[in-house]
Structure 1
C-alpha cells in the first residue's frame, strides 16, 4: 500500500469510485453517502484521502480462478477421455485435419484422373497414409498410457 501522503493518480480515484459503486449496489451505502464519498474521491489528492473513504467498507473478495475444463460427457462416453493427451494436444482436431486433408487430396486426384482420362498413380496414399499411421499410433499409445487412471469429474 502506498504511503498516505503520496499523490494519487486518476486510476486510483477511479478504483475507489468503482468500489463505492459496488457498495451502493450492495446496499452498504445510502445514495447521500455515495454522492458525498464519490465527490470527495474525485477531489482527493493523496492516498490517505482515498483510504478514508473506504475504511468502513469490507475488502473486495479475490476473484475466483475458473477450473480447467475436463473432457466433455460425449468424449467420456465414447472415447473414455483419450482425446486429450499428455501433451495437451487435441487428437480430435488432429484427426479432423487428417480427414479434411485426405478428402481434399483424394478429390484433386479424382479430378486429375477424370480430366486426363487415364489411370493416374494414387499419390494421395503418400499424403494421408503415413500421417494416419502416426495419428493411430499416438491415439492407441495415449489410450494405453491412460491405463486405469480416473478422469477428472
Structure 2
C-alpha cells in the first residue's frame, strides 16, 4: 500500500488543483533539500500535474522522506482502552477477590462449601462485560468517526 493510499484511502479518489499544487510544493522542497535534482523534479512535477487520481500521483511521491513526515504527522494515533474501562475491571476485581478469598478460607477450614461467590461474581462480570462491549462497538467507532472528520477538515483547510 502506497503512502498516498493511506492519505487518500482510495487510489481512484480524484485530486484537484489545490492538491496538485501542494504536491508540487512538496517536490520543490525536496529539490531544496537535495533529494531530487532538477531533471527528476521536472519529470515528477509533470506526473503530478497530469494526475487525475491519488493512484496516478503516487509514483512521484512515495520515495520522498518529506512526504512521509507529513503523512505520519497527520495520521491520528489509535485509540487505546479508555482509563474508565481499566478502572471498571480493577474495581470489580476487588469484591470478587474478597469473596473468593473468603470462600477459599471456608472451603479449607470447614470442607465442601456451596459456591456462593457466584452470586457476586456473575452480576459484576456481566455488567462490566456489557459496558466494555458498548465501548468497543458504540463509543469507540463514534470517536474514530469524529477524529477522522476533524482530520479531513484539517486537511481540506490547508
Query: TM-score normalised by the shorter chain: which range applies?
Result: 0.3 to 0.5
Whichever structure has more helix as a proportion of its residues is 2
Task: Compare CA radii of gyration and give the structure with the larger one.
Answer: 1
TM-score norm. by structure 1 comes to 0.40
TM-score normalized with structure 2 length: 0.39
